[in-house]
Amino acid sequence: MSDQIKVTGKASDEQITYANMLFYGSWSGLGLMAVTYLLYVFGIITPHIPLDQVPLMWSQPVGTYLELGHVPTGWGWTVLILKGDFLNFLGIVLLAAMTIVCYIPLIPAFLKRKELVFAGLALAEILVLMFAASGIVGGGGH
Amino acid sequence: MTMNRKHVLAGSACIVLMGVLLFAAFAWASNAGTDAVHQVGADMVKAGAQLGADTGVAWWVWPLVLLFFCFVLGIIAVLAGVGGGVLYVPLVSGFFPFHLDFVRGAGLMVALAGALAAGPGLLKRNFASLRLALPVALIASSCAILGAFLGMALPTNVVQLFLGITIMGIAILLLCSKNTAHPVVTKADALGIALGMNGAYNDPATGQMVEWKTHRTLPGLLMFIIIGIMAGMFGLGAGWANVPVLNLMMGAPLKVAVGTSKFLLSITDTSAAWVYLNKGCVIPLMAIPSIIGLMLGSFVGVRLLAKAKPTFIRYMVIGVLLFAGGKALLKGLGI
């Protein structure tokens, strides 16, 4: 970090960039989520699982919900994007993806200042989050 | 908020709304061909639904109750100075009919949404430090994936048991820990220097610039292994653990510790949230009113903060956590 930034106590340029991207992205995600939810609960878009059936399954383990509701795992929900319930995943995924998106500009910013450690940390974090997002990590439902 | 930002926000909102409405119109028009598939699905769902008890309550009641419950939770969380996630999971799993799998999925989304919303302001004021967050975030987020995997693999009663113990531990930690506004760090250690864990911020309360550095960096980083695993396993936000580690162990000033912790949640919870999302543990019908309710409650809570008595509310929350933790414990023991 440059001495200029340290002395003034102000946030670095990359920190400000991160903040701005996070601001617009996360509020867009929340807005989208609110809109798609209204479309879902008011029945404007037909859901994959009828609304009155969901409460019968949300008290059951996730494995039962997946089986009875024929709910795909991983990125399989994209096939059902035209369904009211899975349309909500657009906003949810946007929120979940924001951190990955915001991390990307950090790498060139740190490389420019020859802060290789932080550039490496940013790259590693992107890889970790993409690994989590990919659906490769599996675990048994019960 | 500047006029430019208002215009951009309004514009973005209009574009999003128009896009979704157009998409909806298209989807509505194309739904006619999918009715047969939907009917088959509905029949199969009804046949299998005997497993779930039909309480006779309309489907919209619980999401509505959840919305208002989380609104109140959001207010209380801000006033008590705790994260919404740490209240959400034990209380919703204890008093609502949702399975713990879905409560954890929603709990992570709730904590994530709160952290994402708070992050920009904290980063701009330099209360959240990227330099402090990046190394610990990598450790915590990696371990959160492991925690999520473990949490999904373990039997529910075992997770309930551990959740109960953890929640009660959190309550005791909140009761006993005394955070320090400005810890004394005489010398930064080699690892802290190598990782560049230092910085400065302008404290609006005093008008002074505060420079900071960290020590006990390695033990601190190792603690984030445990924090990450617990966050992923239980679907909790990890603010209750991040702040004491950053402040009391590593020596970051309290404002930087709190700000960085909140920002850190957006990274830690992202990795765990993806695991739960990919496993089908996020049901929009319950997750979205939880997120929106808590966010709205947090806004109101911030405005009430000046008038409320935070100490009393904090003790009340500690009491509620002890009760909820005990309930989860008993549930895990099958009592």
Q: What is the ipTM of this complex?
A: 0.90
Q: Can you give the pLDDT at residue B242?
A: 87
Look at residue B268 and tell me if it is in a domain: yes
Q: Can you give the pLDDT at residue A138?
A: 54
Look at residue B104 and tell me if it is in a domain: yes
Q: Can you give the pLDDT at residue B95?
A: 87
Q: Can you give the pLDDT at residue A18?
A: 93
Rounded to a whole number, what is the distance in Å from the CA of B257 to chain A's nearest CA? 16
Q: How far is CA A114 from the centre of its chain?
A: 30
Residues of chain A whose pLDDT is less than 50? 1-5, 139-142
pTM of the predicted model as reported, rounded to 2 decimal places: 0.82
Q: Can you give the pLDDT at residue B35?
A: 46
Whether B315 and B171 have beta carbons less than 8 Å apart is answered as no
Query: Which residue in A56, A93, A99 is closest to B266 by CB distance?
Result: A99
Residues of chain B whose pLDDT is less than 50? 1, 3-4, 7-8, 11-12, 14-16, 18-19, 22-37, 39-40, 43-44, 47-51
Contacts of B140 in chain A (CB under 8 A): none
Residues 203 through 242 of chain B touching chain A, CB cutoff 8 Å: 209-211
Residues 42 through 61 of chain A touching chain B, CB cutoff 8 Å: 44-46, 48-61
Look at residue B294 and tell me if it is in a domain: yes
Report CA dihedral (A29, A25, B79, B321) to the nearest 10 degrees: 60
pLDDT digits (tens, 9 = 90+) for B43-82: 445 544 444 555 578 888 999 999 999 999 888 888 777 7
Cα–Cα distance for residue pair B24/A43, rounded to 1 Å: 11
Q: Which runs of E-coded beta strand occur in chain B?
A: 198-203, 208-213
Q: Do A26 and B117 touch (CB under 8 A)?
A: yes
What residue of A is the nearest CA neighbor of B100? A61
**Pick from A79, A101, A96: nearest CA to A33:** A96
Q: Can you give the pLDDT at residue B76?
A: 85
Residue partners of B286: CB distance under 8 A and separation at least 6: A58, B62, B63, B66, B98, B102, B106
Look at residue B284 and tell me if it is in a domain: yes
Whether A37 and A88 have beta carbons less than 8 Å apart is answered as yes
What residue of B is the nearest CA neighbor of A15? B123
Cα–Cα distance for residue pair A34/A88, rounded to 1 Å: 9
Buried b (16+ CB within 10 A) or exposed e, B30-61: eeeebeeebeebbeebeebbeebeeeeeeeee
Q: Can you give the pLDDT at residue B334?
A: 83
Q: Can you give the pLDDT at residue A7?
A: 55
Q: For residue B259, give its domain range.
A: 60-332
Cα–Cα distance for residue pair B322/B310, rounded to 1 Å: 18
Cβ of B190 under 8 Å from any chain A Cβ?
Answer: no
Look at residue B34 and tell me if it is in a domain: no
Whether B271 and B232 have beta carbons less than 8 Å apart is answered as yes
The two three-digit tokens of residue A114, written as one number: 């020859």
Average pLDDT over all residues of chain B: 80
Single-letter code of the amino acid located at B133: A
Q: Do A30 and B291 touch (CB under 8 A)?
A: yes
Q: Do B57 and A55 touch (CB under 8 A)?
A: yes
φ, ψ of residue B199 to 5 degrees: the values are 180, -165
Q: Do A56 and B199 touch (CB under 8 A)?
A: no
Whether B98 and B286 have beta carbons less than 8 Å apart is answered as yes
Q: Can you give the pLDDT at residue B309?
A: 67
Look at residue B54 and tell me if it is in a domain: no
Number of domains in chain B: 1
Cα–Cα distance for residue pair B116/B263, rounded to 1 Å: 7
